[in-house]
């Protein structure tokens, strides 16, 4: 976006799922439709290649392709953040430069997912990558999900040492997020995630917004906008409507990728396929997914966009998954 300013970032941003076809290849059309659904829901930003995008399962060429697709499909309508994944400074710098070239507005740096090191090592790693880009940079701090992270004081010191590290993407309880905001004197824009858990309280604590996978994104946008307009009861009601599904899916990242992605697929009328290795759904989990999808309803425009062939593909994928979960065909019970 030509008029992008990091300090203006706010609201609900969608972090895209990696959507695969039946051969475990990235599905270009499904990825484009996912962006369209999120934009139609009114998201304030788009993001990709974080934990929900399964970046660790994607080759570097695939990650580069996703960068290009997301920027192209968003087409400047909202800011785009691209998460930078890699095991070395050189790899992350290379991907950051490509993200810049394709038109990303800001970057989110993940810690390298190898080894376990002291906070100082991660701070130096982040700083070396951040110093090689002119784009605004956020740090993804998700110790519970990634097994490595920084304290609020570490983040404050890192930001003071590297001026273009200007945001934080957190993944934690609202009490931890509130402590980070306090330690940084409220000067550092902070976004939380965790599928939208504690959404209203995150906003009360001073979060600029949340970055969420798209399975309940329309309800999250509604809750955020009601809250910011001062309609607190309506915001709480929108949050209550999404909360059971959020609690169900956000039982760990693998659970989100298994059931959150399928919840999105049910609501979008899209078949969902996994890339191995993956957590495979159980029959009980699939039944819960369908129930939550029915309660939430389809995304706006889904019924008009999804043809009969599309719905048959969804059902075929669902039946195949059910057979994997139960060990027999659904018709065996007829």
Residues 6+ apart with CB under 8 A from 298: 267, 268, 269
Closest to 43 in 3D by CA, of 8, 80, 82: 80
Task: Quote the number of domains for the chain.
Answer: 1
* 75, part of any domain: yes
- CB neighbours (10 Å) of residue 64? 18
* 85, part of any domain: yes
Write the pLDDT tens digit of every residue in 276-321: 999 999 999 999 999 999 999 999 977 655 655 554 555 555 555 5
- Can you give the pTM of this predicted structure? 0.90
For the chain, the average pLDDT equals 91
- For residues 182 and 174, what is the distance between their CA atoms, to the nearest angstrom? 12
CB 173 within 8 A of CB 141: no
CATH of the domain at 107: 3.20.20.70
* 250, part of any domain: no
* 109, part of any domain: yes
167 lies in which domain range?
A: 6-230
Closest to 239 in 3D by CA, of 210, 205, 264, 267: 210
* 314, part of any domain: no
* 159, part of any domain: yes
Task: Please state the rounded mean pLDDT for residues 176-198.
Answer: 94
* 284, part of any domain: no
Q: Which two tokens stand for residue 36?
A: 């369209």
Lowest mean pLDDT among 27-36, 237-246, 322-331: 322-331
Q: Which two tokens stand for residue 52?
A: 């929900």
Task: Please state the rounded mean pLDDT for residues 9-33.
Answer: 98
- For residues 215 and 288, what is the distance between their CA atoms, to the nearest angstrom? 14
pLDDT of residue 113: 84
Q: Has residue 324 got a pLDDT over 90?
A: no
Q: Has residue 202 got a pLDDT over 80?
A: yes
* 23, part of any domain: yes
pLDDT of residue 148: 79
Task: Please state the rounded mean pLDDT for residues 247-259.
Answer: 97
């Amino acid at each position: 976006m030509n008029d992008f300013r990091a300090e203006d970032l706010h609201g609900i941003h969608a972090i895209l799922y990696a959507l695969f076809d039946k051969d475990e290849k990235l599905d270009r059309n499904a990825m484009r439709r996912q962006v369209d659904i999120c934009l139609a829901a009114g998201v304030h930003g788009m993001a990709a290649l974080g934990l929900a995008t399964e970046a660790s399962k994607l080759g570097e060429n695939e990650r580069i392709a996703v960068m290009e697709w997301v920027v192209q499909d968003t087409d400047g309508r909202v800011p785009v953040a691209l998460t930078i994944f890699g095991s070395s400074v050189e790899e992350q710098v290379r991907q950051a430069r490509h993200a810049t070239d394709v038109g990303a507005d800001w970057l989110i740096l993940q810690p390298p997912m190898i080894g376990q090191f002291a906070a100082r090592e991660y701070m130096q790693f982040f700083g070396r990558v951040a110093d090689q880009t002119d784009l605004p940079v956020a740090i993804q701090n998700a110790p519970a999900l990634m097994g490595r992270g920084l304290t609020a004081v570490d983040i404050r010191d890192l930001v003071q040492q590297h001026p273009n590290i200007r945001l934080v993407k957190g993944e934690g309880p609202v009490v931890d997020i509130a402590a980070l905001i306090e330690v940084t004197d409220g000067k550092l824009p902070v976004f939380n995630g965790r599928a939208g858990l504690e959404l209203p309280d995150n906003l009360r604590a001073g979060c600029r917004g949340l970055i969420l996978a798209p399975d309940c994104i329309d309800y999250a946008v509604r809750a955020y906008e009601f809250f910011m307009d001062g309609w607190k009861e309506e915001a709480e009601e929108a949050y209550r409507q999404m909360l059971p599904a959020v609690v169900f899916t956000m039982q760990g990242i693998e659970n989100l990728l298994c059931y959150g992605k399928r919840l999105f697929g049910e609501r979008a009328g899209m078949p969902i396929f996994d890339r191995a290795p993956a957590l495979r759904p159980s029959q009980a989990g699939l039944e819960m997914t369908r129930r939550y999808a029915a309660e939430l309803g389809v995304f706006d425009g889904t019924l008009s966009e999804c043809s009969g062939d599309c719905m048959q593909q969804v059902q075929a994928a669902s039946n195949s998954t059910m057979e994997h979960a139960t060990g027999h065909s659904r018709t065996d019970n007829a």
